[in-house]
Structure 1
Amino acid sequence: MFYIGIDLGGTNIKIGLLNPDLTVQSKLKVPTESETDSQTVMTNLIAGVKKLLVETQTGSDQIKAIGVGVPGQMDIERGLSIFSPNFSHWDNVPVVQLIEDQFHVPTYMDNDVRVNLYGEWQLGAGKGKQDVLMVTLGTGLGAAMITNGQMMYGKSNSAAELGHLNMYRHGRPCACGSSGCLGRYVSARGMVKTVQEHLAAGETSVMSEWTQGDETKLTARMISEAYDQGDKLAQAVMQETGEILGYGLSSAINLYNPERIIIGGGVAAAGERLLGPTKEVIAGHALKVAREVCDIVPAQLGPWAGMVGAGVYAKQNSI
């Protein structure tokens, strides 16, 4: 019997067929189309699972359980995705029911970052650790925390939502209803927005040539590439973003006292360009006793971590 792991991201949906020992037999990704609506996104997800089953010549009766990681707030018991800042027209979506109605396989849903952390904790950078914070830097910023060997959930499954730490009293509006949230600055969207603000203020960058003046074509990857070419604006934005992340993680270290912080997600590919300034801020602002027992490491399972973690989560729920 196999497991299916699904990582519902803001840009792509990653779907994998996992063997009983959780090694990946086959995987694929399909566009999310997060700017459309919940019906389109769920149609894309279901079509992706069907495609994987056809490609691997696997029947639904050979699947023991399906795990799915979804960003945002949720009612895990009811399989309901209540709200997600990464999606448009997304409100109380019955994710589990929609999947089970199609495939008639037990399906388990959790927050996308908790699912990532389950994977890294069992198979990756968190193995053997009991107090682990994971931060994923992608379309938005997500976080999850294992403390004393137990995943933190909180009363409404909202624990460790670092992406919504208020960094500025009157900052950028956030889809959560607040403003100045960490994830509006430290994320792919956040970094692009920061570059756009600097350009609008009259600063110059090679990125303007690359996009031929169309700022909607800017990407986080471009910022890293411009940084490496010595572009002053890209370097300033990376420094600024890294420092903001540092202040956010300093608060997290003081609150949760982790022994390890795992940094994952696509934006984490910026590496020390981003994390150098982050570590400098932590050294000066996190509590000394807590800071000295905590290291910061990259995720090990790569861009498919959420998918693998969803498979881990499916298996542990179906035992």
Structure 2
Amino acid sequence: MSAGSQQLALGIDIGGTNTVFGIVDHRGDILYRGAISTKKHERIEDYIDELYEAIAPAVKDAGGIDKIKGIGVGAPNGNYYTGTIDYAPNLRWNGVIPLANLMKEKFGVPAALTNDANAAAVGEMTYGAAKGMKDFIVITLGTGVGSGIVANGQLIYGHDGFAGELGHTIVVAGGRKHYSTGAHGSVEAYASATGVRFTALEMLEKHADKPSLLRNYEQDKIDSRVVYDCAMQGDEIANEVYRFTGEILGMALANFIMFSSPEAIILFGGLCKAGDLLLNPTREHMEANLLPIFKNKVKLIFSELKESDAAILGASALVWEMK
């Protein structure tokens, strides 16, 4: 397939397990896509060599490297200012990795890097539900809770590049201990897929005499998908898990709204498959915790981007921001 004479962007999303990539045009169409394992190589240089070999045929089919305007990368703990991945806990490479420079040297085109949640926000602004918006927040509800904040048309990076960690803000004083950070009562400890699992286990124990479809599963097999399946069958405890999760998330979103007064909050990620089970209690508790001047002003919507495409699109959107 020929991509014509237009310039294209290479979008790369580095996950803890797999790295996905694609060549994307200005409309957000992914012309080529592929993936490699993130975990295979201990040395970052070997990983980039394999990534280059995997991408090279697609670049050739697209008309050569001259057609590629640049590379955008989304990665855990990716720093937009420095182009480095800083102490990412779920990647094999330790310390500070100068990823953007290494990519630029290998591919011969400019490269930009940000964290995966910020990339999602740029993707929504460029191709998705936030197109045309200047003030919005993207909340990614997956294994953890990520966030990207756009205010006055600009992504908020802070003085050091790490702004926008809304998932680690504390919403329950002295609450549940986070399994990784050790903080008590953070949004992520409750409103992530991992948090939903913990809530389900706690409720099963708290209501030990109440029947539930969740009791048909061994504890280590209960995850957010199982909770969803049981809730869809009308299970009372499973539905209560979503009501409680929505209460915590809604309270957190009210805080975020009063901070930056966004036009919309866009929810994205695996937990969004729960649909209204999650959205309705979240909206109810979001509105209940807002000052009157903020009530009924902020749209709470799901992302329009396909989950399988969003990581590539978000990363590629960084390229169009390049000067």
TM exceeds 0.5?
Answer: yes
Corresponding letter in the other structure for 1:14: V
* Alignment match of 1:139 (pick from 140, 143, 149): 143
* Alignment match of 2:29 (pick from 18, 23, 40): 23
Distance 1:282 1:205 in 2: 29
Q: Corresponding residue for 2:117?
A: 113
The alignment's C-alpha RMSD in Å is 2.9
Judged with a 3 Å threshold, the aligned counterparts in structure 2 of structure 1 residues 178 and 222 are, in CA distance, closer, same or farther, namely same
Judged with a 3 Å threshold, the aligned counterparts in structure 2 of structure 1 residues 313 and 268 are, in CA distance, closer, same or farther, namely same
Q: Could you tell me whether the CA contact under 8 Å between 1:85 and 1:175 is conserved in 2?
A: no
Deviations 1:20-70 (A, max 9, x none): 55421022345555xx9x848986676456334436754556533110112
Q: Could you tell me whether the CA contact under 8 Å between 1:174 and 1:181 is conserved in 2?
A: no
List alignment gaps of at least 5 residues for structure 2.
1-6
- Work out whether 1:5 is the aligned partner of 2:11: yes
Q: How far 1:263 moved relative to its partner?
A: 0.9
Q: Corresponding residue for 1:206?
A: 213
- Higher radius of gyration, 1 or 2: 2
- Work out whether 1:237 is the aligned partner of 2:241: yes
Kindly report which structure 2 residues correspond to 1:200-279, keeping only aligned pairs within 5 A, or say none.
202=208, 205-210=212-217, 213=218, 215=220, 217-279=221-283
Judged with a 3 Å threshold, the aligned counterparts in structure 2 of structure 1 residues 46 and 283 are, in CA distance, closer, same or farther, namely farther
Q: Corresponding residue for 1:125?
A: 129
Deviations 1:178-208 (A, max 9, x none): 3321112111122122223334554764345
**What percent of counterpart residues are identical?**
30
Q: How far 1:109 moved relative to its partner?
A: 0.3
Q: Corresponding residue for 1:302?
A: 306
TM-score, normalised by the number of residues in structure 2: 0.84
Corresponding letter in the other structure for 1:294: V
Judged with a 3 Å threshold, the aligned counterparts in structure 2 of structure 1 residues 228 and 156 are, in CA distance, closer, same or farther, namely same
Distance 1:45 1:175 in 2: 28
Q: Secondary structure at the match of 1:185?
A: helix
Kindly report which structure 2 residues correspond to 1:173-212, keeping only aligned pairs within 5 A, or say none.
173=178, 175-176=180-181, 178-199=183-204, 202=208, 205-210=212-217
Q: How far 1:98 moved relative to its partner?
A: 4.1
Aligned pairs, how many? Answer: 311
Q: Could you tell me whether the CA contact under 8 Å between 1:32 and 1:45 is conserved in 2?
A: no
Distance 1:61 1:279 in 2: 47
Corresponding letter in the other structure for 2:284: E
List alignment gaps of at least 5 residues for structure 1.
none
Corresponding letter in the other structure for 2:122: Y
Deviations 1:233-286 (A, max 9, x none): 221211111111001101001111111111111211211111111111012111
Distance 1:45 1:221 in 2: 34
Judged with a 3 Å threshold, the aligned counterparts in structure 2 of structure 1 residues 165 and 204 are, in CA distance, closer, same or farther, namely farther
Q: Could you tell me whether the CA contact under 8 Å between 1:134 and 1:264 is conserved in 2?
A: yes
* Alignment match of 1:51 (pick from 50, 54, 76): 54
Distance 2:253 2:16 in 1: 23
